[in-house]
Amino acid sequence: MSMRRRKELIEVARTRKAVIIEDDYDGEFRHEGGALEALCMRDAADVTFYVGTFSKSMLWSLRLGFVVAPKWAVSTLAIAKSCLDFQSPGPIQLGVASFITEGHLARHVRKMRRIYKERRELLLAILRSEMAEWLRPVASHYGVHVCALDHAGLNMRSVVEAAAEEGVMVHSLNRYYYGQETRSGLVIGYGIADLAEIKRGLAILRNVLKSIRSP
Ligand SMILES: Cc1ncc(COP(=O)(O)O)c(C=O)c1O
């Protein structure tokens, strides 16, 4: 979002007495252009709830996230959290806090940025060369997944099912729609696949795309 749009959004939130939920769930992994400054760091801290997670930067199974909330909302949020599930496990929170303060998280994120960038580049290179007949990657610089749109009119649900039978798990874009689906494609994650697995997985996916195309 451009700086002008950001300022407008903050103004709209203030005049309408609304709040902005800034869900920066994969902001640690912006692969081009450096990190973007969060809205809550600017002069919008009074209307912004900055939401983050350790699912991408550490482990999905930690089930731990965080909110940087305006001061006026902190006690209400704490009450709401207690009503939902009482609290996240104390020992895990303390462990993660030490991991951060001792500098391990920053070091881990720096290392993983390099690794994910390599994986992403390999994935994009294969998509653009060997799989261009069916899929076109969406330009995006964030996260540990790539979205690729189908331009061959394939049934992506069938592609996903056939790939799963061969041991390759990808998601069809349709699972992210609430209403009418306007585009079809695949979401391909690379958080747990190394370079060799990406090559192997995409070779399998390519065979699936071929077979679905010519039944
Ligand atoms: C839009 C969005 N927000 C937040 C998250 C993080 O969710 P969690 O912390 O429950 O893993 C995700 C996970 O992929 C996401 O897609």
Per-residue pLDDT, 90: 93
Distance (Å, whole) CA 153 – CA 133: 11
CA-nearest residue for atom 13, ligand 1, is: 25
Enter the tokens of residue 31. 């692969």
130 C-alpha to ligand 1 centroid (Å): 31
pLDDT at 130: 96
Compute the distance from residue 53 Cα to the ligand 1 centre, in Å.
7
SS3 content of the chain, % helix, strand, coil (to 5): 50, 15, 35
User: So what's the pLDDT on residue 153?
Assistant: 92
Supply the pLDDT for residue 163: 97
Q: What is the pLDDT of residues 4-51, one digit of tens each?
A: 898 899 999 999 999 999 999 988 998 887 777 888 776 788 999 999
Answer yes or no: is the C-beta of 55 below 6 A from any ligand 1 atom. yes
What is the atom index within ligand 1 of the atom nearest the CA of 55?
A: 11
Q: Where are the alpha helices (DSSP H) in 16-103?
A: 74-85, 90-101
- By the 10 Å C-beta count (0-12 exposed, 13-18 middle, 19+ buried), 191 is classed as middle
Type of residue numbered 13: A
Which token pair is 18?
A: 């609304």
The DSSP bridge pattern shows strands 20-23 and 48-53 to be: parallel
CA of residue 207 to ligand 1 center, whole Å: 31
Instruction: Find the radius of gyration of the CA atoms of the chain.
Output: 20
Which residue out of 50, 53, 96, 147 has the highest number of ligand 1 atoms within 8 Å of its CB and is therefore the one to mutate? 53
Q: Return the pLDDT at 87.
A: 86
